[in-house]
């Protein structure tokens, strides 16, 4: 199946003036109840909402990652427990608040495409030094789902441009069956619905739309609508958000694979300083929390001829010093290694926490993408050992 919108005959597509009048009537209504909102839409448009539907492929689902942040203050206020995965999912059925794509009591799992976008979405609840939980969600089963992209008619920077341009090219191909004036009408309809769904702050209308797609027609479409994908209003430039159907969770299709307790350091919309404090190891519905410590055991630096020209062992790691190549500061050997290999080390800290061993020794053999100069010798390769220590979080 290819991405498409429900196709109707050319003569049944209203002209653009009809849509303009219908949107004016719809957007000025003051209804708050879902059924009344949808009735106003039906009266104005003689139809239920039509948005572009896309059908997932295996590559999309295999590579899919979504991140949700909940502040520690919010966590405590809701009376949640940190040893159950459900605490990091959507709010409870029946008590969840109304949000952009859900009505009161009917939850949707809101997440973001990157950890930093997820943090940015929660900035109103966070200040520098605050702690929060961030959970990672992935597809456990590769099953067909339908999803909605809300990018039509908008212009963004960076990655959004590619998404938007690709999306509009696909729609152009779909619209080739219609006459020029009908294509203009359909594009206007889709653009106005997209704008309405992305307005800041969200409103009753978009909440009703989300409820319609996730709860009212979910069993009438094959495959069912699994998510709505839309730009991050808070991140603005390159953040993507997901509204995920809770049915994906109840049917064990989408699962939590990782949880961390982090502290927010200095904040920047380009990328905040994040400190990892604890790791939640997910085992089904249970979460076992671990603290961690680590130390560098040894390090060797290799030249262009693959020969070691500097070696450090044990305490020498904190005695030898290098100049930082990012900020010019003098760093000890272990600080220098951490600065240059931070992303790999943090990834391993989380991954190795899933092992049962209390101590884990790991050796790194790393080619340096951009060679660095140390004492007039070009260094192209590093080898070092690290010892990780994991211990249970005290209750």
Q: Which two tokens stand for residue 91?
A: 């709010």
Q: What is the pLDDT of residue 159?
A: 54
Contact by Cβ (8 Å): 47, 14: no
pLDDT, one tens digit per residue, over 57-114 is 677 777 889 999 999 998 988 889 999 999 999 988 888 899 999 999 999 999 999 9
Report the distance separating Cα 145 and Cα 23, nearest Å: 30
Looking at the structure, tell me whether residues 192 and 330 fall in a common domain.
no
Q: What is the pLDDT of residue 7?
A: 56
pLDDT band at 271 (very low <50, low <70, confident <90, very high): low
* Cβ partners under 8 Å of residue 342, min gap 6: none
* Cβ partners under 8 Å of residue 129, min gap 6: 263, 264, 265
Looking at the structure, tell me whether residues 295 and 279 fall in a common domain.
no
Main-chain phi, psi angles of 101, to 5 degrees: -125, 25
The residue from 283, 316, 351 where one domain ends is 283
| Residue 5: inside a domain | no
pLDDT band at 153 (very low <50, low <70, confident <90, very high): low
Looking at the structure, tell me whether residues 269 and 338 fall in a common domain.
no
Report the distance separating Cα 302 and Cα 368, nearest Å: 10
Say what percent of the chain tops pLDDT 70: 89
Main-chain phi, psi angles of 292, to 5 degrees: -150, 160
| Residue 200: inside a domain | yes
Report the distance separating Cα 154 and Cα 191, nearest Å: 8
Q: At what angle do helices 16-27 and 180-198 cross, to 10 degrees?
A: 20
| Residue 348: inside a domain | yes
Query: What number is the average pLDDT over the span 373-394?
Result: 88
Looking at the structure, tell me whether residues 220 and 142 fall in a common domain.
yes
| Residue 4: inside a domain | no
Report the distance separating Cα 360 and Cα 338, nearest Å: 17
Looking at the structure, tell me whether residues 301 and 252 fall in a common domain.
no
Looking at the structure, tell me whether residues 207 and 152 fall in a common domain.
yes
* Cβ partners under 8 Å of residue 92, min gap 6: 107
| Residue 2: inside a domain | no
Main-chain phi, psi angles of 24, to 5 degrees: -60, -45
Looking at the structure, tell me whether residues 353 and 275 fall in a common domain.
no
Q: Which two tokens stand for residue 234?
A: 């808070």
Looking at the structure, tell me whether residues 190 and 266 fall in a common domain.
yes
The residue from 283, 305, 320 where one domain ends is 283
Q: What is the pLDDT of residue 176?
A: 79
Q: Degrees (nearest 5) of the Cα angle 26, 27, 28?
A: 95
Say what percent of the chain tops pLDDT 90: 42
236: left (phi > 0), else alpha (psi -120 to 50), else beta?
left
Q: Reply yes or no: is the peptide bond before residue 283 cis, omega within 30 of 0.
A: no
Query: Whole domain around residue 141: which residue ranges?
Result: 10-283
- Bridge partner list, 179: none
The residue from 256, 283, 310 where one domain ends is 283
Looking at the structure, tell me whether residues 160 and 232 fall in a common domain.
yes
Looking at the structure, tell me whether residues 87 and 192 fall in a common domain.
yes
- Bridge partner list, 283: 286
Looking at the structure, tell me whether residues 257 and 298 fall in a common domain.
no
Contact by Cβ (8 Å): 287, 83: yes
Alpha-carbon dihedral of residues 205, 207, 208, 210, nearest 10 degrees?
A: 130
Q: Are strands 146-149 and 131-139 parallel, antiparallel or unpaired?
A: unpaired
Q: What is the pLDDT of residue 146?
A: 84
pLDDT, one tens digit per residue, over 256-268 is 999 999 999 877 6
Contact by Cβ (8 Å): 49, 41: yes
| Residue 330: inside a domain | yes
Q: What is the pLDDT of residue 155?
A: 56
Q: What's the number of domains the chain is made of?
A: 2
Determine which helix (DSSP H) or strand (DSSP E) holds 255, and give its type and residue range.
strand 254-264
| Residue 320: inside a domain | yes
Given a cut of 60, whether residue 34 has pLDDT beyond it is yes
Contact by Cβ (8 Å): 331, 324: yes
Given a cut of 50, whether residue 250 has pLDDT beyond it is yes
Mean pLDDT (the chain) is 85
Distances (CA, A) of 11 to 8, 185, 197, 221, 331: 8, 12, 28, 25, 72
Query: What number is the average pLDDT over the span 164-168?
Result: 68
Looking at the structure, tell me whether residues 241 and 258 fall in a common domain.
yes
pLDDT, one tens digit per residue, over 287-339 is 999 999 999 999 999 988 889 999 999 999 998 888 776 667 888 999 988 88
Given a cut of 50, whether residue 1 has pLDDT beyond it is no
Query: What number is the average pLDDT over the span 244-253?
Result: 92
Maximum average pLDDT range among 45-59, 159-173, 186-200: 186-200
| Residue 18: inside a domain | yes
């Amino acid at each position: 199946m290819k991405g498409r919108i429900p196709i109707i005959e050319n003569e049944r597509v209203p002209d653009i003036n009809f849509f303009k009048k219908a949107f004016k009537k719809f957007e000025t209504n003051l209804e708050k109840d879902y059924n009344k909102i949808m009735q106003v839409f039906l009266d104005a448009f003689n139809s239920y909402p039509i948005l572009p539907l896309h059908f997932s492929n295996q590559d999309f689902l295999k590579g899919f990652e979504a991140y949700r942040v909940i502040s520690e203050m919010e966590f405590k206020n809701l009376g949640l427990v940190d040893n159950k995965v459900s605490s990091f999912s959507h709010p409870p059925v029946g008590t969840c608040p109304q949000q952009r794509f859900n009505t009161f009591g009917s939850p949707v799992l809101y997440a973001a495409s990157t950890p930093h976008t997820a943090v940015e979405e929660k900035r109103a609840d966070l200040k520098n030094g605050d702690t929060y939980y961030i959970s990672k969600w992935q597809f456990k089963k590769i099953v067909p789902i339908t999803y909605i992209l809300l990018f039509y008619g908008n212009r963004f920077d960076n990655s959004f441009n590619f998404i938007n341009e690709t999306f509009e090219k696909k729609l152009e191909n779909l619209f080739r069956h219609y006459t020029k004036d009908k294509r203009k009408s359909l594009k206007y309809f889709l653009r106005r619905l997209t704008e309405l769904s992305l307005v800041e702050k969200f409103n009753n209308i978009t909440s009703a739309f989300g409820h319609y797609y996730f709860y009212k027609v979910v069993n009438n479409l094959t495959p069912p609508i699994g998510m709505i994908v839309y730009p991050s209003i808070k991140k603005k430039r390159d953040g993507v958000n997901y509204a995920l159907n809770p049915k994906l969770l109840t049917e064990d299709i989408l699962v939590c694979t990782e949880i961390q307790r982090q502290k927010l350091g200095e904040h920047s919309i380009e990328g905040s300083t994040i400190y990892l404090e604890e790791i939640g190891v997910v085992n089904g519905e249970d979460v076992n929390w671990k603290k961690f410590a680590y130390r560098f055991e040894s390090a060797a630096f290799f030249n262009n001829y693959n020969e070691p020209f500097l070696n450090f062992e044990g305490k020498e790691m904190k005695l030898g010093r290098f100049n930082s190549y990012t900020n010019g500061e003098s760093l000890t050997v272990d600080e220098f290694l951490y600065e240059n290999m931070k992303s790999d080390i943090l990834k391993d800290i989380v991954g190795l926490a899933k092992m049962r061993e209390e101590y884990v020794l790991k050796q790194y053999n790393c080619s340096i993408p951009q060679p660095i100069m140390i004492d007039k010798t070009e260094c192209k390769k590093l080898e070092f050992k690290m010892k990780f220590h994991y211990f249970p979080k005290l209750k």
